[in-house]
Every structure is written in C-alpha cells, then in structure tokens.
Amino acid sequence: MTTPMGHNEGQWTARIITLFPEAFPGVLAQSLTGKALAEGLWALETVQLRDFGRGKHRNVDDTPAGGGAGMVLRADVLGDALDHAESGLSRADWPVIYLSPRGKPFVQADAERLSRAQGATFLCGRFEGVDERVLAARQVEEFSLGDFILTGGEIAAQALIDASVRLIPRVLGNQVSTEAESFSHGLLEHPHYTRPNDWEGHAIPDILLSGHHGQIAAWRQAQSEKLTKERRPDLWRAYNRKDPVTGQQLSDANNGARKGAQKDD
C-alpha cells in the first residue's frame, strides 16, 4: 500500500514525478527563485518514478495498445507514483499537472492560480506519452508550453514552477513589478529603457524623461496595445472582445488597464 506524502502547511511546494530527479532544482536554484527556495518561501520535492516500476528491471513503460511506435508509461506505475505523491488536499488546493504537447497552453492566469494553491504535483512524461486511463482516474490536468515537442516534461515543469513561484509573496520583493508584466492585464508589456540616455545614436523616447506620470502611463498603454496587435492577434482579439448584446467590453483586465493608463499623478 502506497503511503501518501501529504503536504507542508503554509509552504508552497512543487512535487515532481520524474525519471530524472537529478534534473531538479536545475535553473530553479538560481537567482530569486533559488534564494526563495533557500529561505523556505517554497519547497521542492522529487519522486523517482522508477521506484514504482514493475519486475526485476523496474519497468515503467510498455508497447502501445493497438500497435505503433515508441513506448507508453504504464497506468499501474503512474497510479502508484501519483498516490504516493498525493497531498491529501482537493485539486483546487493542490493541482496535479501532466506536461504534454497536447495539453492546453499554459498562460499567466494559470500561473496565478497555481501560486494561490498550497502546491502542485508535476508529472514529467517521457517516450510516447502516458496511459490515458490514469489521467482521468487521478484528475490530472494537461498543460503545454507551446506547439513543439520536448524529449521529456522536466524542462516544461521547471518553466511552470518558475512562472508560479515568482508570484508567491516576498519571492520577487516587488509586487508591483508582477502586476505590470506582460499578460497581467491581457496585453504584452510595453518596451523598457534605461541609461545611457543616448546609445549609438538611439535615444530614450522623450516622454519617458518628461516626469509626467500620466502621459508616461498613456504612452506605455499605447505601446502595449501596439505590440499586442502586431505580435499576438489572438490576445488582441480577446482584449477587445465585446458583449454581442450590450456592446460592452467583456475583459475586466482590459477595463482596468485603460483606467490605469488614464490616471494622472
């Protein structure tokens, strides 16, 4: 019988099921996430999937039912590993995530949701994928980093963890910086500049040196809208969507961003 690991009360925890636990913490041990990890603002735990393998060689995979190339991670092996990694909390308080190219795209709102939970378990796939039955039976969400293929889920897991951990209070030290980032208000972030004021004949836009905070906010809002329209038409459409009956904009983030740009300090 597998003994659940439970959870650490009051400490956000990333629990990773992987064949390569030595890949962690990886880049998460660096910079601000690493400092926060060392200070106990969050925790990282790995579960070696091989420990739950079958037979003398601890096999974790088998050939696909119906034929085909590659190997599939077994439901019984994964089920035991997930049961061991179980937090004892609801999926709302502790999501279980499988990193998969067929998953829904991971966006900033997902990072915000994860950061508000007490932790999350990340299942790092390998080979052709995992037995479909375990995903449904254990209420596993599927997320993707984008329309490309990685050799395993470890890199994707680190990306999701980084995106979530940085939103935990006190990790970055400046909550305002996360509130003004790309996607936080449905738009890409505006361009940034710093000294020197003139570099190789390229000057910082005069408006940013004017000291007029209201005009600066309006300029940044306009730049964010311009970049989003040019580079991410999908975000631009969502940002500008309107109720077909009332004609009002449906995006609260849109309305909030516009109000913020209109404020004049």
Examine the domain organization and report whether 255 and 151 are in the same domain: no
189 and 253 share one domain: yes
pLDDT of 165 above 70: yes
Residues 106 and 203 in one domain: no
- CATH number of residue 122's parent domain: 3.40.1280.10
pLDDT at 257: 45
Query: Does residue 207 share a domain with residue 132?
Result: no
**Cα distance between residue 243 and residue 254, in whole Å:** 13
Tell me if 170 is assigned to some domain.
no
pTM, rounded to two decimals? 0.85
Tally the domains of the chain: 2
> Which tens digits make up the pLDDT trace of 170-208?
999 866 566 656 566 889 999 999 999 999 999 999 999
Q: How much is the average pLDDT of 230-236?
A: 95
b/e per residue 141-158 (b: at least 16 CB within 10 A) = bbbbbeeeeeebbbebbb
Q: What's the domain range around 38?
A: 12-165
Question: Which residue, 131, 165, 199, sits at the end of a domain?
Answer: 165
Residues 44 and 143 in one domain: yes
What confidence tier does 241 reach under pLDDT thresholds 50, 70, 90? confident
Same domain, 143 and 194: no
Is the domain of 18 the same as that of 129? Answer: yes
Determine what percent of the chain is predicted with pLDDT higher than 70: 86
Average pLDDT over residues 163-172: 96
Query: Residue 263: which pLDDT band, with cuts at 50, 70 and 90?
Result: very low
The verdict on 54 and 126 lying in the same domain is: yes
Is 197 inside any structural domain? yes
Q: Identify whether residues 95 and 196 lie together within a single domain.
A: no
Q: Please give the Cα distance from 137 to 67 (Å, whole number).
A: 23
